[in-house]
Structure 1
Amino acid sequence: MKLWIALLLLSLSLQAQTNSYEISFDNAVHHEAVVKVQFPHVKSKNLRVQMSRSSPGRYAIHEFAKNVYGFKATNGAGESLEVKRDDPYSWIITNTDGTINVEYILFANRGGGTYSQVDLTHAHLNMPATFMYAETLQERPIEITFDARKDLDWKVATQLKHEEDNTFSAPNLYYFMDSPTEISNFREREFKVDGQTIKFVLHDPDPESDFDTYWEKVKAIVLQEKAVFGELPIYDFDEYTFLACYAPNVSGDGMEHRNSTILTDTETLANGGMTGNIGTVSHEYFHSWNVERIRPADLEPFQFNQANMSDCLWFAEGFTSYYTNLILERAGVISAEDYVNGLNGTFNYVWNSPALQYFNPIEMSNQAPFVDAATSVDPVNRENMFISYYSYGSVLGLALDLSLREKNLNLDEFMQLMWKRFGKTEVAYTVKDIEATLADYAGAAFAQGFFAKYIYNSEMPDYKNLFEQVGLQLDRASEKPYFGASFKATENGLEISRNTFKDSPAYQADLDKGDVIASIDGIAMNSNDAFKNLLNSKNIDDVLQVTFERFDEVFTTQVRLTADPTYTISIAPDAKKSAIQIREKWLAKK
């Protein structure tokens, strides 16, 4: 057989075994889409099709099947097929002639990184929330046609391979599921970096939005993050796309994917988004190295039908969070002073948390299926037993960077080594691999000590000395009194709005979430200002007489004030010249 005939037959065979999808939006005003799928050449007697229960970049369960209805299944002749159900997210279809056609209606009205949204402004599609799949056919190529609304001037933006018009393709199910799509009347910008195209798609309904100014910030971020790793990843089809929806009808989110990212927020660029949204750009683009290619082994392969747990999110998400604002400073988006001031919130959240006594960073990472956009109806005690791996990993990344700089090394070079070993090669890593790589870079004793204290345990690094070497200072508000509760004002007094922190004065006095404080020392607590004014008049060790209401009964208790545990990080006004030089090198544009 001639070679060209063999290739033609192979091509026709592959086309015949391609799963085909089509989605239309005629009833977008009511948030509905109609999805049609064809599975050809099905050899099994029955075919199970299902909706995902999780989504790449998310770690919790999300029951996407709850938004599916109007399900139909037919064969190649258009005849109805028998359908059975044995779980809430699957449909088992009896095969008759080898072709199975599926059609269903999807309700979609949450625009973000996890769900989908269809309305008259756009069709914002996260694929696992939108499309059924057959697990037994997951290695087949996929072709999809988006019936974009011409009357609304919709266009299609996605990392999927463009075939023709509004038809795109993916080599397999995983690539398809990892390819979010924005369909709207968007604007776009692009620039070339080392022969690859970086594209920004903006769906922003505000006509006053200054896209060009925002785009200059995005370009600066891209180049500074490239400088951390020394090079860009090799993007499929030589293109990376930011898919941004800044509109009042979406939900604030950011979600990384292999060659694109979803960016959503209710603030348009003209309404706070120019400064409020840029941090998500920095964070999500860094993921195109760290997470998407420098990939935790326990997330491979990603499971669409269950929660996905990892030991490494303190590094994958946390170190990415450390670089988020550092990159903004290096790119000139924020000042050095803004960057230093911005460290305070995360630092205090982590190092004043009672949760340090329960879980180390690895164990905090394991909590992701319960906290990563997960939902529950029962009250939880996160204030006392959980620290976000984003935040925990961020302050550990800071500590590691400053510790390495004491040795005339730095975190950028370490991240480059992780990139070369695990990112470029796309060989997934474990926690032990991170430690071993750090040992090769900074020495076995250094790596063993850092991991033993701060990764396998929950000790606090010596930030005071670490900050001094870069001309920063760490202080504590030890002269101020501390009560230890958060409030919201009600008609009857100040209601404790969160669980009180373990061992805080309020906790020790048996005050709890939901208690309504009517008065302190006989003074009515009718506003947060009233409480602040009273607390400012008190001293450490003062005992307060508190009257509060719980379950429609009135109680009294005593609260003994302690020293405010809040840390303050600031630029030291009398820093040594050598420390200033190290700080400038740390924060300098690359």
Structure 2
Amino acid sequence: MVSLTASATPAQVGYVVRALDLHAHVFEVTLTIAQPATDQLVSLPVWIPGSYLLREFAKHLQGLHARQGNKPVAMTQRDKCSWQIHTKAGKALVLSYQVYAFDSSVRTAWLDSRRGFFNGTSLCLRVHGQEDTPHQLTLIDDDLPKDWQAATALREQRISKRGFGDYLAANYDELVDSPVELGPFWRGEFVAAGIKHHFIVSGAPDSFDGARLLTDTQAICEAEISFWHGKQPQQAPQRHYLFMLNAVHDGYGGLEHRHSTALICKRADLPRLGQTRSGAPSDGYTTLLGLISHEYFHTWNVKRLRPLEFDRYDYARENYTELLWFFEGFTSYFDDLLLRRAKLIDTAHYLKLLAKTINQVLQTPGRQLQSVAQSSFDAWVKYYRQDENTANATVSYYTKGALVALCLDLSLRHAGKTSLDAVMRELWQRCQGGPMTQDDLLAVLADLSGKSYGAELQQWVHGTADLPIKKLLKQHGIRLDEERAPLPDQLGIKVNEQQGIRLKSVLRGSAAEQAGFAAGDEWLGVATGQGQSTQRWRLNKLDDLATYLGNDTHCRALVARDQRLLTLSLDVPDTACSVKLGVIDLKQVDTWLDGKIPA
């Protein structure tokens, strides 16, 4: 057990966090400010860096009280997330409050009888005027099950063997950039390029192969440290690193931090004991490895090398930038590529993943309406607030940004002087691992290649024309073939088939839109043939349509909308295609994928 008086606080700002009630999902926080200002202002962030949406964390804060000594102190709520505490300067101020924690994502906080997790942005009030002073975090294990542990990337001061106790952050930014995991998790560790990495997994079944996950993650980390620092791995900025993975029945996601990352994956995607290591990993495990690669790459790209607009986070409002296509998109390009270089997937598997990204962009009508720079700026109101029209009005800065990176990389390599690898490393040096602008990228491109890429970025990033992917891939030994698209893509719909066929979205200009389908429709059945030869069929799955159509391309669809039955005339196009990549010259392909410059 860790006592509230376990150690003297060297920091001017200290937080004590305990799980108040596992079944009510409530954390208790005690905040001590040694030297408060007169009428001290405190606030809770409205967003968390890396996830560009106002999430209004203050909605879960309750029971806020203040005292100096034994006397209560009055307070005034200033707005949705800040409070003015009517303090007298020079006398310690103690705030106490509770936070409801029942969001299982990587962005907020969670607490139940099996696991606890929180980001500081959800629990830790910001003390205005003292953000740059050291902050202490004390984790209390009162009344917690004996098998619970605690883990965070914060600097240890005095902790128990199970990880409870005192941690120190250099400032508020570091405090809230260091999530905390609590519970009976699995843990392992490895060393990559001289840096100790810890890995914890919550929710893993007994069949989980932790040794394989550590070995494969180590290969990813070594490949990425080598990517950024070559033969000088000691220049890597992280002093240590913590992977925090929550395995659930159905989920996926990650959020990057300077010395750690919080991840979620499907329990079925974990590597299992007894599985053979020969050949390609399963699609699910590859997805997990890609997520690990993506979030670890962010250690450099966005957590340190970052948009100038993120030089100092403003936790009270949106922080706009047009550069998410670079920081998320380029990271998305290199995440799978570095799996190939780490020898965790082969060339065929990599090309399959690349083709998937190409198809995702080509099957998004919004790419012709919104530039990827606009997509970055609008993330706060569009990307993180998706609805049935999102694909028609927007383009993802993840997927199109990855293809912009692909086009830049292949263009640079074809010219024979440099590569995007070298550009990223030179940007790191030029910006000293700190804030950057698009002009910095353009300057490095010109310095290393000997030509301006202003026109290309204007067209690819700030325009809406399709990218020259086919031409550039051919120059590097890959042909872009077309094959018949899956039925949903032929029709231009996205569906939910858990209970019947429910349309989630209808793509602009598609056969489904022309027939009159709308998001929310329940597709009940089809009628084929004419007159006395008419046949009517109930649809349980969308694939049933191909069976009932046979060689026909026309049918009448029966749909339910707002309890009304509608009959729609549907023509299934025979020209809808998706992209498949094939190898023309394996030597050229390997030169690119291995990171070499063509001779």
TM-score, normalised via structure 1 length: 0.87
CA distance in 2, matches of 1:210, 1:526: 41
Q: Which residue of 2 aligns with 1:390?
A: 398
Partners of 2:119 and 2:228 in 1: CA distance: 29
Whether the aligned pair in 2 keeps the contact of 1:474 and 1:570 (CA below 8 Å) is: yes
With over 3 angstroms needed to count, the CA separation of the structure-2 counterparts of 1:549 and 1:146, relative to structure 1, is: closer
Match for residue 3 of structure 1?
none
Which residue pairs with 1:405 in the alignment? 413
Of 445, 458, 462, which residue of structure 2 is paired with 1:438? 445
> CA deviation digits over 1:431-474, x for unaligned, max 9?
222222212222334x1232122112122232222222333221
Which of these residues, 514, 518, 528, is aligned with residue 512 of structure 1? 518
What is the CA-CA distance between 1:144 and the residue it aligns to?
1.4
Q: Equivalent of 2:126, from 127, 133, 153? A: 133
- SS at structure 1 position matched to 2:353: helix
What is the CA-CA distance between 1:494 and the residue it aligns to? 4.4
- Where structure 1 has 5 or more consecutive residues not aligned to the other structure, the ranges are 1-13
Give the one of 519, 523, 526 matched to 2:539. 526
Q: Which runs of 5+ in 2 are unaligned?
A: 1-7, 160-164, 273-281, 529-533
SS at match of 2:464: coil
The one of 141, 149, 152 equivalent to 1:155 is 149
Rate the CA distance shift 1:515–1:152 in 2: closer, same or farther, 3 A: same
Give the structure 1 partner of residue 162 of structure 2: none
**Aligned ranges 1:153-232 → 2 under 5 Å:** 153-165=147-159, 166-231=165-230, 232=233
Q: Confirm or deny: 8 A CA contact 2:9 2:136 kept in the other structure.
A: no
Alignment of 1:549-588 (within 5 A): 549-572=560-583, 575=584, 579-588=585-594
Q: CA deviation at 1:148?
A: 2.9
Per-residue Cα deviation, 1:35-91 (whole angstroms, up to 9, x for no partner): 1001122231x122222101121111011111111221111x221111222323222
Q: CA 1:487 to 1:245, structure 2 compared with 1: closer, same or farther past 3 Å?
A: closer
Alpha-carbon distance change, 270 to 218 in structure 1, aligned in 2, over 3 angstroms? closer
Task: Answer whether contact 1:31 1:119 (CA < 8 A) is retained.
Answer: yes
Distance 1:155 1:530, change over 3 A: closer
Partner Cα distance (2:590, 2:58) in 1: 52
Report the RMSD for the aligned CA atoms in angstroms. Answer: 2.7
Amino acid at match of 1:244: L
Change over 3 Å in CA distance of 1:386–1:237 after alignment to 2: closer
Mapped pair 1:499 → 2:510:
no
Match of 2:469 among 446, 463, 470: 463
Which residue in the other structure is 1:4 paired with?
none
What's the counterpart of residue 9 of structure 1?
Answer: none
Q: Which residue identity is paired with 1:512?
A: A
Question: Quick one: distance in 2 between partners of 1:205 and 1:129?
Answer: 26
TM-aligned CA distance change 1:235 to 1:202, over 3 Å: farther
> Who is 2:239 aligned against?
238
Deviation at 1:143, TM superposition (A): 1.0
Larger helix fraction of residues = 1
Instruction: State how 1:23-422 maps to structure 2 within 5 Å.
Output: 23-44=17-38, 46-75=39-68, 77-96=69-88, 98-148=91-141, 151-165=145-159, 166-231=165-230, 232=233, 238-248=239-249, 252-267=252-267, 269=270, 274-371=285-382, 374=384, 381-408=389-416, 409-422=418-431
- Kindly, what percent of the aligned residue pairs are identical? 25
What's the CA shift for 1:113? Answer: 2.0
- Deviation string 1:286-321 (CA, Å, 9 cap, x unpaired) is 001111111111222112111222211111001101
Alpha-carbon distance between aligned partners in 2 of 1:515 and 1:553, rounded to the nearest angstrom: 10
Matched, 1:483 2:474: no
Q: How far does residue 219 in structure 1 lie from its aligned partner after superposition? A: 0.6
TM-score by length of 2: 0.86
CA distance in 2 between partners of 1:443 and 1:515 (Å) = 55
